[in-house]
Amino acid sequence: MVVAPKVYAQNEAIFTLELPFAVTCTLWRQRFEPVTLATGPRVTVISGLHGDELDGGYICYRLAQFLQNLPPGWALRGSVDLLPNANPLGTNIGQRFLGFNTSDLNRTFPGNSQGSSEEHLAAAIFAEALQAEVCIDIHSSNEFLIEIPQVRVVDKPHLCNLAQELGLDLVWTHSSHNWIGGTLAKALYERQVHTLVVELGAGHRLHQTWSERVVQGILHLWVRLGVLQVQATLPILPASRVADENNVFYLNAPRAGLLVLESGVKAGMTIESGQKLGQIINPTALTQIAIYAPVDGFLFTLRVHPLVYEGSLIARVVRG
Ligand SMILES: [Zn+2]
């Protein structure tokens, strides 16, 4: 017996940038729709705006697997677009920025289809994202820091509520005027597209366990939005901690050297004010300075690259 597919899937090249010598930079979109007429909203997931951030590509792959092989009791009601890599050349050569120049793609939005190569690429991505009712923009940190799974949103109640549906460790809110200009999230916010910026892990790495949590969180959100329907009762996810512009403490290196963390110090732990987190040593001057937790709280960002300069970010802690 031939089983009819539950989902119509299409993998399409939606934009191609010509590079000088026989190489092209192609933007791929995977679209999933019900075989019958969609009754739910369209949602989009974009990852890889920074070419060195790899978790989002894995998350998109896992979401695509799920949609192509829906378990019994699940149905797709809305439409899903996945852009697993928005900066293909950067990723292919292991670089954060565009590869053909040093522009940050996530400072180029909304882009310009008549403009430079990076503006043209940004405009193509933006046009896709504009079709969504809810857009998720997945980032990892850079190669210097690791971030526990979190979501960053403009501090509007409806966006905070959507962010909580992901069930991640932290929801970090920012006022719209403090959101960095040129980012996809800022440009989409100005066009009234609900946007959730997910952060997890570190650049050039793949954090499989945390990525799986994000996959489950996105599926949970999609059920709440009516994109997916499931006959079973969804598990109740724990409430995320909430960080804002007033309860996050930045711990910066007081001097240059090598950061040596105390055994057991890791991102995602609760810490107490005065707890020793590590030390910065200088192997040539033979000096060291201890690093202590500045407040009681939850360590959600931690440096993983040991080389520090005066002022380098070591950790971020949300108080409480
Ligand atoms: Zn990023």
> Ligand 1 centre and the CA of 260: distance in Å?
26
Which pair of tokens denotes residue 290?
A: 């201890």
Contacts of 17 (CB under 8 A, 6+ apart): 24, 25, 26, 117, 120, 121
Q: Has residue 3 got a pLDDT over 70? A: no
> Ligand 1 centre and the CA of 140: distance in Å?
6
Query: What pLDDT digit, counting tens, does each position of 160-181 carry?
Result: 999 999 999 999 999 999 999 9
Percent of the chain with pLDDT over 70: 99
> Ligand 1 centre and the CA of 271: distance in Å?
27
> Ligand 1 centre and the CA of 198: distance in Å?
9
> Ligand 1 centre and the CA of 203: distance in Å?
8
pLDDT of residue 22: 85
pLDDT of residue 5: 74
Whole-angstrom distance, CA of residue 178 vs CA of residue 159: 16
> Ligand 1 centre and the CA of 289: distance in Å?
31
pLDDT of residue 237: 87
316 in Cβ contact with 249 (< 8 Å): yes
Helices 208-225 and 55-68 cross at an angle (nearest 10°) of 50
Domain spans, the chain:
7-242, 247-319
> Ligand 1 centre and the CA of 173: distance in Å?
17
Collapsing DSSP to helix, strand or coil, 155 comes out as coil
Whole-angstrom distance, CA of residue 192 vs CA of residue 195: 9
Options 3.40.630.10, 3.20.20.105, 3.30.360.10, 3.40.50.2300; which CATH number does 7-242 get?
3.40.630.10
**Cis ω on the peptide bond leading into residue 20 (within 30° of 0)?**
no
Say which CATH architecture domain 247-319 belongs to.
Beta Barrel (2.40)
Average pLDDT value for residue range 263-267: 97
Residue 46's φ and ψ, nearest 5 degrees, are -120, 135
Query: What pLDDT digit, counting tens, does each position of 172-215 carry?
Result: 999 999 999 999 999 999 999 999 999 999 999 999 999 999 99
288 in Cβ contact with 278 (< 8 Å): no
265 in Cβ contact with 255 (< 8 Å): no
Whole-angstrom distance, CA of residue 124 vs CA of residue 13: 11
Q: Has residue 4 got a pLDDT over 80? A: no
